[in-house]
Chain A
Amino acid sequence: MRLQLSPEMEAFREEMRTFFTTQVPQEIRDTVAARRHVSKEQYVETQRVLNAAGLAVPHWPVEWGGQDWTPLQRHIWREEMQLACVPEPLAFNASMIGPVIAAFGTQEQKEKFLPATANLDIWWCQGFSEPDAGSDLASLRTTAVRDGDDWVVNGQKTWTTLGQHADWIFCLVRTDPTAEKKQRGISMLVFPMDTPGVTLRPIELIDGSHEVNEVFFEDVRVPAENLVGEENQGWTIAKFLLGNERVGIARVGATKRLLAQAKEFAREITVDGRPLADDPRTAARIAEVENELLALELTALRVVATSADGKPHPASSVLKLRGSELQQAATELIVDIAGPLSLASFADGGSEVPGWARVATPEYLNYRKVSIYGGSNEVQRTIIAGTILGL
């Protein structure tokens, strides 16, 4: 048992902190800090800065640009990135399709896709969920039928995040509708978003943002070589991918930043001549979320410190569940601190309301998503009850 980081890890943390706060353009970090919209160009620029320094995809195999890091190093990397308001490497590239191609792809696919994926030369989007296949992903109905050297894809995907920026899509499709178990007839295909027959339609969200899309496929012809892994092995790949997706999903660093901002905002608001931060009930609410966040961070540290053998620590399922709840609690806190100012959501020039108060409610509403995506919190409870408690 030892609380302190080793001198090597202290140095590593310092190195990460220095890099993120000096090498990523200030304007981009300011955008994240102010919780404003991060543009496609800003994502791309950041990821290329990171990639040039070997910091975009450290969890990939070393030969494809990864780093031979311990789970603790990866944890520090991610936390420091979030604390420094650096937009994280695009999850669809760095956490999802990259590791999948590295693990299941052919040598040709690896060479073609991995360097471009790490550098965000290709922007990927995810074609998993469908209107009738959400948490029950294996019910997906988009089909791919073999026709000569091509697969012909028909169907519809939804919740395709940032699909409007995407160059390519990785897609789960049903290749064997007769399989006894629905999980067994699924494969993964990748193809460009400008392939004839692909149509993207934006979905407007309650915060007014355009973040997710529907994607329709009508006789989309995909060359056979764009199958990732073996035919009908798609479910294995999906499970592998979703397992990776949950890594780092606790987002402790990001929530820490929100809480630090909440304290600052509470000092700016005055109630009966005194700062709101001095109100005991407000202070208690902040302190309670802060303590919950500490408990989550410590659990994440326990998990990274004891899952070196590759097997996930049982407590890791807590991270997504509680991590999403605390992200939501922090955004809710900021709305409440803003109070009536939170109504000025779409105020433009000529408004006295500070930017943080304007974005407070849209973000709070937007963050309802975090307990839904990446395996909804009800799915997480099912996992905990089933695999950990044996119920």
Chain B
Amino acid sequence: MDFTFDNEQNDLREAVRGLLERAYGSVEQRRAAVAQEPGFDEKTWARLAEMGVLGLPFAEEDGGMGAGPIEVAIVAEEIGRVLAPEPFVEAVVLAGGLVAAVGTAAQRAEVLGPLAEGGSVLAAALAEPGSRWSAAASAVTAAQAGDGWALTGVKEPVLAGARADVLVVSAAIAGETAGGTALFVVRGDAEGLTRTGYRTHDGTRAASVRFDGTPAELLGEGTGDRTAEVERVLALARIAYSAEAVGAMDTALRTTAGYLKTRKQFGVTLNRFQALTFRAADMYVSLELARSTALWAAMVADAGGDVVAAADRARLQTSRAGRHIGKEAIQLHGGIGVTAEYSVGHYTSRLTAIDHVLGDGEWALGRLAGRVTDHETVDPLGAPYTAAG
């Protein structure tokens, strides 16, 4: 057992932090970036590609860096720390992850190579209006059309869906082979594809994506059900989001503590009021417990353990912590906390968004509760969290 980062990992963190500090060191820089389409800075995206970040988790033969979940968590935490709006988790971990998990060697090279190089933005189109956080698709269906496939239905919200060059779409197989969920690649310029983009509350972008007999390429071989693979990649993305949330919570707490030391009321700085400092202390407790759990979940993924269960645990812990810290950060600031010109409210907004993308705390708790009597105790260093355990 070793909870320390190695030199390479520390170097990666320093490099990504340096890049993102230059891009989003001040709240104005981020506000300027998210005010324009596509909701993030294309130059920063290109720099992340140059650094290798956009190909981080993919195999070298697929055009990636061959790194693992720990490195992904490091990048995600740095993204969260400054609220970088670049869709790293969305495009790389989730959409790219689906291609890496299911695609053929040729498809992986064709889709992941350009993603890693920064030439192609990916978006995962999984969510369907009216259902939530399901790994299986139902509202979008796929039917065979000649040698290929055609998709019909609506996916929404699709994060970075309007900007994406390539969409990775889950769809229910229609007709004779019905019963499973398959994954498809759809080009942004495909016929019968209608995308309506909009801003989300946290400054990033999402889209409604309508398929109307849209040509699509089946990912991987055969039409077997891919729900388990989707579930696994969703788990990896939930773990990455947990790290991103930890980065955001860390900044929200540090910003709040800094404010308490400088803001004066009744002739003294706010840190003279125990009613406030005790609440900041509780925020620290929430943060450290969430940090431990998020880090552990990445280690479980790295060790080849039960990543779905670990992700649910990290999701629950970071959801509770994100809400606690996000709300308290605003309250301890007072009115300035709800203004757009000050940073801290944006952190709360982003934490709220992260909480709802792939499953919130109550959802994760429901899944954990369903399994709670399957085991007597939880051993974080043993089965099922370590593959060999």
Could you list which residues of chain A lie within 8 angstroms of chain B, going by C-beta atoms?
1-6, 9, 72, 83, 256-257, 259-260, 263, 266-267, 277, 280, 283-284, 286-288, 290-299, 301-302, 305-306, 315, 318, 321-322, 378, 380-382, 384-386, 388-391
CA distance A294 to B293 in the complex (A): 8
Q: Which residue of B lies closest to A6 (CB)?
A: B1
- Flag whether B147 is at the interface (Cβ < 8 A): no
Q: Which residue of B lies closest to A381 (CB)?
A: B281
Interface CB pairs A-B, < 8 A, 24: A1-B2, A1-B5, A1-B302, A72-B1, A256-B377, A257-B377, A260-B376, A263-B376, A283-B370, A284-B365, A284-B366, A288-B316, A291-B365, A294-B378, A298-B296, A301-B381, A318-B284, A322-B289, A381-B278, A381-B281, A384-B284, A384-B285, A385-B277, A385-B280
B293 touches A1 (CB 8 A): no
Q: Mostly helix, strand, loop or mixed at chain B's interface?
A: helix
- Flag whether B7 is at the interface (Cβ < 8 A): no
Q: Which has the most chain A C-beta neighbours within 10 Å: B9, B260, B290, B292?
A: B292
CA distance A388 to B302 in the complex (A): 31
A305 touches B1 (CB 8 A): yes
B281 touches A1 (CB 8 A): no
A3 touches B299 (CB 8 A): yes
- Chain B contacts for A72, CB-based, 8 A: 1
Q: Which one, A4, A318, A390, contacts B261 given CB within 8 A?
A: A390
A301 touches B278 (CB 8 A): no
CA distance A5 to B346 in the complex (A): 40
A3 touches B372 (CB 8 A): no
Q: Which residue of A lies closest to B371 (CB)?
A: A287
Could you list which residues of chain B lie within 8 angstroms of chain A, going by C-beta atoms?
1-6, 9, 70, 253, 257, 260-261, 271, 274, 277-278, 280-282, 284-285, 288-290, 292-293, 295-296, 298-300, 302-303, 305, 313, 316-317, 365-366, 368-373, 376-378, 380-381, 385-386, 388-389
- Chain A contacts for B376, CB-based, 8 A: 260, 263
B369 touches A280 (CB 8 A): yes
* Min C-beta distance of B148 to chain A, whole Å: 43
Contacts known (A294-B293, A295-B317, A389-B257); A318 close to B3, Cβ less than 8 A:
no
* Min C-beta distance of A26 to chain B, whole Å: 19
- Chain B contacts for A1, CB-based, 8 A: 2-6, 9, 70, 298-299, 302
A3 touches B381 (CB 8 A): yes
B257 touches A390 (CB 8 A): yes
CA distance A243 to B22 in the complex (A): 42
* Min C-beta distance of B284 to chain A, whole Å: 5
CA distance A263 to B373 in the complex (A): 7
Contacts known (A287-B372, A293-B378); A385 close to B278, Cβ less than 8 A:
yes
